[in-house]
Structure 1
Amino acid sequence: MKRTHLLALILATLGSTAAHAQFAKPEDALKYRKGSFFVMSQHFGRIGAMAQGKVPFNAAAAQENAEAVAMLAKLPWAAFGDGTDMVPETKAKAAIWEQPAKFKEAAEKLVKESENLRVAAKTGNLDAVKKAFSATAGTCKACHDQFRDK
């Protein structure tokens, strides 16, 4: 089994149980969400490098990475619970807890755009991947602008 598929399987298994459970400490939730975002960004960055022409387009690699992004996009949201805004290492803005419906909407948009990216990557068409990558990246940026300190 390829390393990324194994990692995705492990994260999906952990995500389906750990993310829905309460975290023992707010610091644990912060580590979980940072880890989820980090791994997602690594896979997303690989697609971005292809979409931006920095590396040659590889349809199989784009699909594999898009599958991981779509799965990982579902994970971090459960780790924004009460008290996690007070952990010193967080870059999360208070707006997350002050505007939970708006934050949830942003999270759902990322999940939707990540799924669109997965579908586009399945076609093997670079133009479709570029378009979906751009839409997904825009969703990331909009959320960061509104809900994440620099």
Structure 2
Amino acid sequence: MDCCFFAVRITKESNREALPMFTFQKTAAVLIAASTLLLGATAASASGEDDIKYRQTNYKAVGAHMGAMAAILKGEVAHKDQLAGHADALAMIAANAPSLFPEGSGPDAGETKAKAEIWSDPEGFKKVLAGFDTAAANAAAAAKTGDMAAFGAAFKQLGGACGACHKAYREK
């Protein structure tokens, strides 16, 4: 199997040998991208409740990636080698975030914390989502440098972008 991704396996003798395999983060990023693209193809046939469930699943992933990156940044876990994978996966979701809010997936469609203002103020919402996308892309770029100070600043910007959207467009 030819593959450009490698992981390290520690054998009983503590030798390290490179094995071709996908890392969890890269596999997750590919799956998220594929499912987000499929959403666009099936959005017309999906019900509002299905759209809400799908959106909530994506944002749970955002929360999980934010939590993992925060733990790495704070030094609570020693997985700096995984930082870029988390940041890339989150950036992919952010880039596709507008597709997660189709017409008919608001508060009238089911249980959601998404405010009706998302659909009544689409220009304002698009602006906030653009800030999320930019901040996520900046965090992903900073994560790839290995410079934790630069990543910390980008992560703070990302948290601010999340908060701006929550403040204006999410029920508490």
Fold shared, TM-score > 0.5 on shorter chain: yes
Looking at structure 2, the residues matched to 50 and 36 of structure 1 have their Cα atoms a distance apart, in angstroms, of: 21
- Which residue in the other structure is 1:40 paired with? 62
The yes-or-no answer on 1:17 pairing with 2:28 is: no
Query: What is the number of equivalent residue pairs in this alignment?
Result: 149
Give the letter aligned to residue 99 of structure 2.
A
- Bigger CA radius of gyration: 2
How big is the alpha-carbon RMSD for the aligned residues of Structure 1 and Structure 2? 1.6
Looking at structure 2, the residues matched to 112 and 23 of structure 1 have their Cα atoms a distance apart, in angstroms, of: 30
Give the letter aligned to residue 85 of structure 2.
E
Looking at structure 2, the residues matched to 14 and 88 of structure 1 have their Cα atoms a distance apart, in angstroms, of: 21
The yes-or-no answer on 1:62 pairing with 2:62 is: no
Looking at structure 2, the residues matched to 59 and 7 of structure 1 have their Cα atoms a distance apart, in angstroms, of: 17
> Deviation above 4 Å: which 4+ runs of structure 1?
none
Which segments of 5 or more consecutive residues in structure 2 lack a partner in the other structure?
Answer: 1-21
- Which residue in the other structure is 1:125 paired with? 147
The yes-or-no answer on 1:98 pairing with 2:107 is: no
Looking at structure 1, the residues matched to 72 and 80 of structure 2 have their Cα atoms a distance apart, in angstroms, of: 9
- Which residue in the other structure is 1:77 paired with? 98
Looking at structure 2, the residues matched to 75 and 35 of structure 1 have their Cα atoms a distance apart, in angstroms, of: 14
What TM-score comes out, normalization by structure 2 length?
A: 0.80
- Which residue in the other structure is 1:2 paired with? 23
- Which residue in the other structure is 2:159 paired with? 137
Percent of aligned positions with the same letter in both sequences? 32
SS in 2 for 1:18: helix
Greater length-normalized contact order (CA 8 Å, ≥ 6 residues apart): 1
Give the letter aligned to residue 170 of structure 2.
R
User: More displaced, 140-149 or 46-55?
Assistant: 46-55
SS in 2 for 1:84: coil
Q: Is the 8 A contact 2:25 2:82 kept in 1?
A: no
What TM-score comes out, normalization by structure 1 length?
A: 0.91
The yes-or-no answer on 1:26 pairing with 2:78 is: no
Determine which structure has the larger helix proportion and give its number. 1
Determine which structure has the larger strand proportion and give its number. 2
Residues 23 and 32 (structure 1 numbering): CA distance in 2 closer, same or farther, change over 3 Å? farther
Task: Summarize deviations over 1:1-42 as a string: whole Å, max 9, x none.
Answer: 122211211121121232354242001110111111111211
Task: Summarize deviations over 1:45-64 as a string: whole Å, max 9, x none.
Answer: 111122234334x4311111
